[in-house]
Amino acid sequence: MPELPEVEALAVFLREHASGRVIARAEAASFAVLKTFDPPLSALSGRAITEISRHGKFLDLRCAAGANGTAGTAGAAGLGDLHLVMHLARAGWLRWRTDIPDKPLRLGKSPLAFRLVLEDGTGFDLTEAGTQKRLAVYLVRDPADVPGVATLGPEPLAADFTADALAAILAGRRTQIKGVLRDQHIIAGIGNAYSDEVLHAAKMSPFKLASSFTPEEVAVLHDAIVSTLTEAVKRSAGLAAADLKGEKKTGLQVHGKTGQPCPVCGDTVREVSFADSSLQYCPTCQTGGKPLADRRLSRLLK
């Protein structure tokens, strides 16, 4: 799943390749991908992409009326700025293209979910692998109109995300820290992979209760969050969209590394599997050498 570092890198890539360009057309390749109907996608035609930003794991393209004052269907220019907001979900990705065909998309079962074509013939496809179609596209007047954006927690790389702010978030939460870090309503942008990486960097068990953190542990966790995400963003800087997945895999320390040696201590990376996901950790670095029971809501084995 693309998380904060990859989505930020995609935003940077699109700023370099799409900012200031005028949209020719936008098309959905499936009924499920488009979550809004007013305004219609046709309202994007003729609009210029004026700003590209990120909200947690959401990409946001701000689209204003074109230089000639026209934009899409009749009356669309009077709508004001529109925002094309995209969430790549678990198996989605953005593919930049310089050779988009002129023929319109056909609804079908291919991985292609959405296409944005610019007037110069370039643009991008959104694709989604697998059978669980969760990739989502919204066309709204305000990003806050997207439910997932409106309920996001604080950005972990923002200046106001301090150790004190994190302490306030954790206080009183009798929830395992792994779940807290993944919850987009609590902290925006961190998913399954980087929560594993943060906890490994902090040398903390994923099952540690948020309410049990001391001020010193909060400071350590805060530093791990900021440093892990900052380093991942730096590694992704300047990469083409097609290269970001590979960079993420090579840059991870424990996530997806089950059975491999921990790069810090050499112990074997272990896994806890759940119904639809799994977590990876190092027993020596994070749990005092004790393996975690491989079942939901488990505790350290005695």
Confidence category of residue 245, pLDDT binned at 50, 70, 90: confident
Confidence category of residue 98, pLDDT binned at 50, 70, 90: very high
Confidence category of residue 50, pLDDT binned at 50, 70, 90: very high
Q: What is the pLDDT of residue 301?
A: 41
pLDDT digits (tens, 9 = 90+) for 112-129: 999 999 999 999 999 998
Which tops the pLDDT comparison, 32 or 160? 160
Residue type, 35: K
pLDDT digits (tens, 9 = 90+) for 163-222: 999 999 999 999 999 999 999 999 999 999 999 999 999 999 999 999 999 999 999 999
CA 55, chain centre distance (Å): 9
Reduced to 3 states (helix: H, G, I; strand: E, B; else coil), residue 201 is: helix
Confidence category of residue 275, pLDDT binned at 50, 70, 90: low
pLDDT digits (tens, 9 = 90+) for 12-27: 999 999 999 999 999 9
User: What is the pTM assigned to this prediction?
Assistant: 0.89
Find out whether 279 and 266 touch, Cβ atoms under 8 Å.
Answer: no
Residue 290 has pLDDT above 70, yes or no: yes
Find out whether 50 and 148 touch, Cβ atoms under 8 Å.
Answer: no
160: left (phi over 0), alpha (psi -120 to 50) or beta: alpha
Residue 71 has pLDDT above 80, yes or no: no
Residue 70 has pLDDT above 80, yes or no: no
Residue 246 has pLDDT above 80, yes or no: no
Q: What is the pLDDT of residue 299?
A: 44
